[in-house]
Chains A and B, each alone.
Chain A
């Protein structure tokens, strides 16, 4: 948010503020031009008055000396005041002053105070000399009493008809009151400062404007205004006044206000958008994602892969939840498959290992017994009895007798050797038998390893276990199977429980077969139950088979007991009882008697705990 505000501020300052400042600068220049034009307009008004008086027969006659009453009739002070003139001069054709009047503050004043229009001076000559009837000199002129607007025209006959009889000069002071009046008219705050008595504040503008060749505009900026300066020159081309127009910095202030307002608006809008976005994100994305995360954590902590989100949303979150449910389902199946495979593979590996070890251990044992047999067989081929009989024969030759003795001695050596080796072989056999026993003891230890418990959906287990029901080979024999275990879930060893259920279902089927009935039913139901404050699930397997009496019921779970005649199949109820006990459950059997069917009740811990 801070970065957004800073970026907005920089962009607005870089774009809007300079635009307003440029506008303000243009306005300042315009104000200065309007001030200049106001002065020019005042000068033109002066020229207009001069243009009325100069081509006038009465004036022309006066200049020629033919109308001496002209001045008294037309040029009194009130007339000059009415014409807004401060100075009126008449010269004859030779440049000799005929009459002149200076007016200050409505009263006549000494003309000499002006310090100009001295007779015979070059400056005066330049101001009053007109070479043609259309000649006209107007502009600014510096006097000792301040700058004046001046208009000098040749005196002609009415209708601007020559010859030129002399020169008419009209002038008015460009003093503070006039500047104020012009300022009021133009609504431009400006002042005119004489170059002759310029103050320190105007030296720099004067220097800038004097040095510039074409530019007549210079401005400075203060905190509140733009000061625009223009240099005005007199009729001789020399600098005479500096015009200073003051333009308040309203535009730039407006620009700053615009920037600040826009910034505030953007920040407020940003805050509102952020809040709305946060709320929407929270409701639409973050909340559901937290639910999903909580669901994942729940599965991780409980290990219960049967949990589902069942999200009904149709957006991406809903798709994600749906995909996660699918993935969980796949993982659950894969885990079940892996557990089954691990169980089977473990059994296979164990069987292979046990087979290998026992065969290895039996090999020397087998070898020892074989050698023992061979050795004793070797003694059977001895002819000791025959040798003794020949020795007892008195006719036995002495040489043969010696050989018979050698044979008997060698035979006994052989028997002694065989007996010694037989002892060794028996020791080996005994040792190897001990090794086989040790291998079996080792396996017994592994047999006590606790199985992996998981959350199981009973309908899935029962459906799978029901596959043990054989296809009936007899056309007129039928067993119906129905399981209604709802959505109950238990915490148990999957393969073990499947084997238990398969065993019970198969027992029920065989019991129906033994009952000599042509048909039968196997029903499995599940109900919740609380045992010692523990949430359990009671699973009942009910059949319409041959049932059993009380005597059988008491020993039905005993080791080795079977009610089946002549054969043993399956794992047996003894094993089932042990397996269920290992899962924290138990089993009991009920029957109202032989021929009345049976019920087996299994209690297992519920997956919901308690």
Chain B
């Protein structure tokens, strides 16, 4: 099992995200999107000084923090989700690609993960899926904890959406 973890420490205020996609370039996109919500030092300095020198009323937006674990096979996603649940730190959101050859597809992985974690938000992201939406909802219920995005998509927006859906729950 190949898994990479951006933040290895569990933080209570972090949103724990598991991502499975067989394309390493796309995984890199996820990492960049979820990492950079945390501001670098010079950006924080610029923001703080700008607020003090030019715009005292500017809101200091509280950016969400993510703890991201990535893998590139459905079986690995199931193992990582099982392990996290066993340790008492289940993932808040699991993002799955639908097609991840040569192993099981994302729908099958999502279906098995749902059986062991009924709370986790599951997001399917794919370039093309021959699995109809109603079948997805039947295999990975409930519909309010199931989300579907087509590639290409805005990963920055996705990070914001993930933060929103966790916050809403």
Chain A contacts to B: CB under 8 angstroms: 352-353, 355-360, 362-367, 370-371, 374, 378, 381-383, 386-387, 390, 400, 403-404, 406-407, 410-411, 413-414, 417, 428, 431-432
Contact = CB atoms under 8 A, between A and B. Distances in A.
B1 interface: no
Interface residues of B, number: 29
B164 interface: no
A230 B154 CA distance: 131
Instruction: Tell me what chain A mostly uses at the interface: helix, strand, loop, or mixed.
Output: helix
A389 to B, nearest CB: 11
Interchain residue pairs A-B with the least CB separation, the first 5:
A359-B127, A366-B152, A356-B128, A407-B49, A356-B127
B151 A362 contact: yes
A403 B46 contact: no
Nearest to A406: B49
A404 B33 contact: no
A431 B24 CA distance: 13
Contacts of B50: 381-383, 407
Interface string B27-38: 011001100000
B69 to A, nearest CB: 20
Nearest to A404: B53
A410 B46 contact: yes
Contacts of A387: 53-54
Contact of A382 (B46, B99, B128, B152): B46
Nearest to A360: B127
Interface of B: 23, 25-26, 28-29, 32-33, 40, 42-43, 45-46, 49-50, 52-54, 99, 126-128, 130, 150-156
Contacts of B42: 410, 413-414, 417
A371 B49 contact: no
B151 A370 contact: no
27 contacts: A353-B128, A356-B99, A358-B127, A359-B127, A362-B151, A363-B152, A364-B26, A364-B28, A364-B29, A366-B152, A366-B153, A367-B33, A367-B154, A370-B154, A370-B155, A381-B50, A386-B54, A387-B53, A400-B53, A403-B52, A407-B45, A407-B50, A407-B53, A410-B45, A413-B42, A414-B42, A428-B25
Contacts, number: 88
Contacts of A370: 154-156
Contacts of A356: 99, 126-128
A352 B128 contact: yes
Best-buried of B25, B28, B43, B50 by chain A (most CB within 10 Å): B25
Given A366-B152, A382-B46, A407-B53, A432 B128 contact: no
Given A359-B152, A363-B29, A363-B153, A352 B130 contact: yes
A410 B152 contact: no
A356 B26 CA distance: 13
B155 A410 contact: no
